[in-house]
Amino acid sequence: MKKASIMGLALVLVLAASAFASAANYVGGGLGIKAAADASDAKGIIGALSLDFDVMEKLTLSANGYIEFKQKVEEEPLATDAAFTMPKFEEPTYFGGVYGKYALTSFDALKLGAVAGVNFNNGFIVPKEDVESGTDDPAAEPSKVDYGAGIFAEQPLGETGTIYGQAMYWMQEKGVGGLGGINFKLTDKIAVKGQIEYVKKQPLFSIGVGYTF
């Protein structure tokens, strides 16, 4: 029987206002890119969401997620004289979660610490071995929930930006995932974030804009 627990994703999203200021809370959204599982996999529209909240000076809680809408593949091609029809989409798939990270030490502006979290995969990432085998046996499907722990590093860039990186070991997957990115403020309230992530043997890229508070 599969275990159910709070889900989350190992992903570092701390927005530092500057090297001399406290971090800022952030909520934002954008678009993402996910490599196709195989050559026949239909391309879809991927949305990305992220949230950071500073609980206290050294502790940050974050959440992020991806959602994908795949257009249905028609069994028979439409006739050339067919009238325009609205595209049909399959049920959306999503991947997301929450995590917490705690700063253990710092060297000047560089911050180092530990991170732990859980993630939830609802058909968004299909393991390569499952694609190749084509299994439809529910008993053979991996658990949707995974949990892990790792380390992170964060470095302010000037007065408005931050570069960050993270590595985590995931228990159910029995593998290492990682991410890295950069975020910077456009104004006092608007920030942009770009990130590359590798999880469950799947590379993901997202870029978005958000509100700091």
pLDDT, tens only, 148-164: 999 999 999 888 888 98
- Rounded CA-CA distance 145/5 in Å is 7
CATH of the domain at 173: 2.40.160
User: Would residue 50 count as lying in a domain?
Assistant: yes
Q: Which pLDDT value is given to residue 42?
A: 57
User: Would residue 78 count as lying in a domain?
Assistant: no
Q: Is residue 88 within 8 Å of 72, Cβ to Cβ?
A: yes
pLDDT < 70: residue spans in the chain:
1-24, 37-44, 73-87, 128-142
Q: Which pLDDT value is given to residue 52?
A: 85
Sign of CA dihedral 20, 15, 105, 196: negative
Residue 14 DSSP class: -
- Rounded CA-CA distance 210/208 in Å is 7
Per the structure, the complete domain to which residue 32 belongs is given by 15-72+87-212
Residue 138 φ/ψ region, left for φ over 0, alpha for ψ in the -120 to 50 degree band, beta for the rest: alpha
Q: Which pLDDT value is given to residue 91?
A: 85
Beta carbons within 8 Å of 149's beta carbon, 6+ residues apart: 114, 115, 116, 117, 168, 169
3-state secondary structure of 61: strand
User: Would residue 23 count as lying in a domain?
Assistant: yes
- Rounded CA-CA distance 187/208 in Å is 15
Give the total number of structural domains in the chain. 1
User: Would residue 133 count as lying in a domain?
Assistant: yes
Beta strands in the chain (DSSP E): 15-16, 23-24, 26-34, 44-54, 59-70, 93-107, 110-122, 145-157, 161-170, 175-185, 190-199, 202-212
Q: Which pLDDT value is given to residue 19?
A: 28
User: Would residue 3 count as lying in a domain?
Assistant: no
Residue 124 DSSP class: S
Residue 198 DSSP class: E
Q: Is residue 141 within 8 Å of 32, Cβ to Cβ?
A: no
Separation of first and last alpha carbons in the chain: 42
